[in-house]
Structure 1
Amino acid sequence: MPRLSSLLPFLVWLPRQSGRSLLQDLLVGLSGAILALPQSIAYALIAGLPAEYGLYAAIVPVLIASLFGSSWHLICGPTAAISVVLYASVSPLAVSGSDDYVTLVLLLTFLAGIFQWLLGMLRFGAVVNFVSHSVVLGFTLGAAVVIALGQLPNLLGLDLRSQATALKTLESLLSHVGEIDGPSLALGVATLLLGLALKRLRPRWPGLLISLFSVSLLAWALPSWFAQVPRVPAFIGHLPPLSPLPLLDVESMLRLLPSAVALGMLGLVTSLSIARSLSARSEQLIDADQEIRAQGASNMIGAWFSGSLSSGSFTRSGLNLEAGARSPMAGVFSALWVALFALIGAGLIAHLPIPAMAGGILLISWGLIDHRAIRALLRVSRSEFLVMLLTAAATLLLELQTAIYAGVLASLFFYLKRTSRPRVQQVCEGEADVLRVGGSIFFGAAHYLQARLQRCQGPQVVIDARQINFIDYSGVDMLHREARRLQRAGGSLTLRRAPLQVIEELRKLEGQEACPILFED
Structure 2
Amino acid sequence: MKQYFPILNWLPNYKRAFIYGDVVAGITVGILLIPQGMAYAMIAGLPPVFGLYAALMPQVIYAIMGTSRQLSVGPVAMDSLLVAASLGTLSVTGIENYIAMAIFLSLFMGVFQLLLGVLRLGFLVNFLSKPVISGFTSAAAIVIGLSQLKHFLGISIHGSSKLHLLLTEVFIHLSETQLITLLISFLGIVVIVLLKKYLPKIPSALVVVVLGTFAVYFFDLHLLGVKIVGNIPKGLPSFKFPSLQNIPFSELTPLALTLALVAYMEAISVSKSLEENEENYHVDANQELVALGTSNIIGSLFQSYPTTGGFSRTAVNNQAGGNTGFSSIVSALVIGLTLLFLTPLFYYLPSAVLASMIMVAVYKLIDFKLPFQLWNQNRDEFFLLIATFIITLFVGITQGILIGILASLVVMIYRTSQPHIAVLARIDGSNYFKNIERFNEQVKHRDDLLIIRFDAQLFFGNKDFFKKKLEALIHQKKKTLKAVILNAESISYIDSSANAMLIKYIEQLKGQNIQFFITGAIGPTRDVLFNNGLIAVLGKESLFVRTYEAVDCFDGIICKDDLQNKICQQTVK
TM-score tier, shorter chain, comes to over 0.9
Q: Secondary structure at the match of 2:46?
A: coil
Counterpart code for 2:495: D
How many residues align structurally? 517
Counterpart code for 1:441: L
Give the Cα separation in 2 of the matches to 1:153 and 1:204: 31
> Aligned pair in 2 of structure 1 residues 196, 336: CA closer, same or farther (>3 Å)?
same
Q: Secondary structure at the match of 2:485?
A: strand
Which moved further from structure 2: 218-227 or 331-340?
218-227
| 1:121 alignment partner in structure 2 | 118
2:203 to 201, 206, 213: 206
1:51 aligned to 2:48?
yes
Q: Secondary structure at the match of 1:15?
A: coil
* Equivalent runs, 1:394-405 vs 2, <5 Å: 394-405=391-402
Q: Secondary structure at the match of 1:30?
A: helix
1:506 to 510, 524, 529: 529
Q: Secondary structure at the match of 1:481?
A: helix
1:436 aligned to 2:433?
no
Which moved further from structure 2: 279-288 or 380-389?
380-389
Instruction: Give the deviation of 1:443 after TM superposition.
Output: 2.6
| 2:27 alignment partner in structure 1 | 30
Which moved further from structure 2: 55-64 or 448-457?
448-457
**1:28-76 CA deviation, whole Å, 9 max, x = no partner?**
1001111111111100000001110000101101111121011111111
> Aligned pair in 2 of structure 1 residues 226, 382: CA closer, same or farther (>3 Å)?
farther
* Equivalent runs, 1:376-455 vs 2, <5 Å: 376-428=373-425, 430=446, 431-455=448-472
**1:450-489 CA deviation, whole Å, 9 max, x = no partner?**
1221122224111011222122223222222321221221
| 2:234 alignment partner in structure 1 | 237
2:271 to 272, 275, 282: 275
1:496 to 504, 508, 519: 519
| 8 Å CA contact retained: 1:484, 1:516 | no
Give the Cα separation in 1 of the matches to 2:199 and 2:221: 32
> Aligned pair in 2 of structure 1 residues 303, 170: CA closer, same or farther (>3 Å)?
same
Give the Cα separation in 1 of the matches to 2:254 and 2:81: 16
| 1:477 alignment partner in structure 2 | 500
1:80 aligned to 2:77?
yes
Counterpart code for 2:321: G
Cα RMSD (Å): 2.0
1:519 aligned to 2:515?
no
| 8 Å CA contact retained: 2:141, 2:366 | yes
Counterpart code for 1:520: F
Counterpart code for 2:465: Y
1:324 aligned to 2:321?
yes
* Equivalent runs, 1:76-155 vs 2, <5 Å: 76-93=73-90, 98-155=95-152
1:487 to 492, 502, 510: 510
Counterpart code for 1:261: L
Counterpart code for 1:47: A
| 8 Å CA contact retained: 2:156, 2:173 | no
| 2:435 alignment partner in structure 1 | none
Counterpart code for 2:22: D
Counterpart code for 2:253: L
Instruction: Give the deviation of 1:380 after TM superposition.
Output: 4.4
1:256 to 252, 255, 263: 252
* Equivalent runs, 1:182-193 vs 2, <5 Å: 182-193=179-190
Instruction: Give the deviation of 1:403 after TM superposition.
Output: 1.2
Give the Cα separation in 1 of the matches to 2:33 and 2:13: 27
More helix by share: 1
1:174 aligned to 2:171?
yes
Which moved further from structure 2: 141-150 or 419-428?
419-428
> Aligned pair in 2 of structure 1 residues 425, 478: CA closer, same or farther (>3 Å)?
same
Q: Which runs of 5+ in 1 are unaligned?
A: none
| 1:68 alignment partner in structure 2 | 65
Counterpart code for 1:52: V
| 8 Å CA contact retained: 1:299, 1:307 | yes
Instruction: Give the deviation of 1:382 after TM superposition.
Output: 3.0
Instruction: Give the deviation of 1:371 after TM superposition.
Output: 3.7
Give the Cα separation in 2 of the matches to 1:204 and 1:484: 74
Give the Cα separation in 1 of the matches to 2:42 and 2:334: 21
Counterpart code for 1:117: L
1:309 aligned to 2:332?
no
Give the Cα separation in 2 of the matches to 1:252 and 1:398: 22
| 8 Å CA contact retained: 1:94, 1:101 | no
**1:156-205 CA deviation, whole Å, 9 max, x = no partner?**
11111112512101111112222211111111111112112222222332
Give the Cα separation in 2 of the matches to 1:472 and 1:39: 52
| 1:462 alignment partner in structure 2 | 485
Q: Secondary structure at the match of 1:426?
A: strand
> Aligned pair in 2 of structure 1 residues 101, 241: CA closer, same or farther (>3 Å)?
same
1:194 aligned to 2:191?
yes
Counterpart code for 2:515: S
Q: Secondary structure at the match of 2:364?
A: helix
Instruction: Give the deviation of 1:512 after TM superposition.
Output: 4.7
Counterpart code for 1:128: V
| 8 Å CA contact retained: 2:88, 2:160 | no
| 8 Å CA contact retained: 1:108, 1:257 | no
| 8 Å CA contact retained: 1:91, 1:101 | no
Instruction: Give the deviation of 1:274 after TM superposition.
Output: 0.7
Give the Cα separation in 2 of the matches to 1:89 and 1:308: 13
Q: Secondary structure at the match of 1:495?
A: strand
Instruction: Give the deviation of 1:225 after TM superposition.
Output: 8.1
Counterpart code for 1:202: L
The percentage of counterpart residues that share the same residue type is: 29
Instruction: Give the deviation of 1:280 after TM superposition.
Output: 0.9
Give the Cα separation in 2 of the matches to 1:16 and 1:49: 41
Instruction: Give the deviation of 1:206 after TM superposition.
Output: 1.6
Considering Cα pairs closer than 8 Å and 6+ residues apart, tell me whether 1 or 2 has the greater RCO: 1
Give the Cα separation in 2 of the matches to 1:16 and 1:222: 53
| 8 Å CA contact retained: 2:506, 2:538 | no
Which moved further from structure 2: 99-108 or 498-507?
498-507
Instruction: Give the deviation of 1:235 after TM superposition.
Output: 2.0
Give the Cα separation in 1 of the matches to 2:84 and 2:162: 11
Q: Secondary structure at the match of 2:243?
A: coil
> Aligned pair in 2 of structure 1 residues 513, 232: CA closer, same or farther (>3 Å)?
same
| 2:442 alignment partner in structure 1 | none
| 8 Å CA contact retained: 1:460, 1:492 | yes
Larger Rg: 2
1:338 aligned to 2:335?
yes
Instruction: Give the deviation of 1:309 after TM superposition.
Output: 0.5
Give the Cα separation in 2 of the matches to 1:477 and 1:142: 47
Which moved further from structure 2: 63-72 or 196-205?
196-205
Which moved further from structure 2: 100-109 or 455-464?
455-464
Instruction: Give the deviation of 1:84 after TM superposition.
Output: 0.5
> Aligned pair in 2 of structure 1 residues 36, 212: CA closer, same or farther (>3 Å)?
same
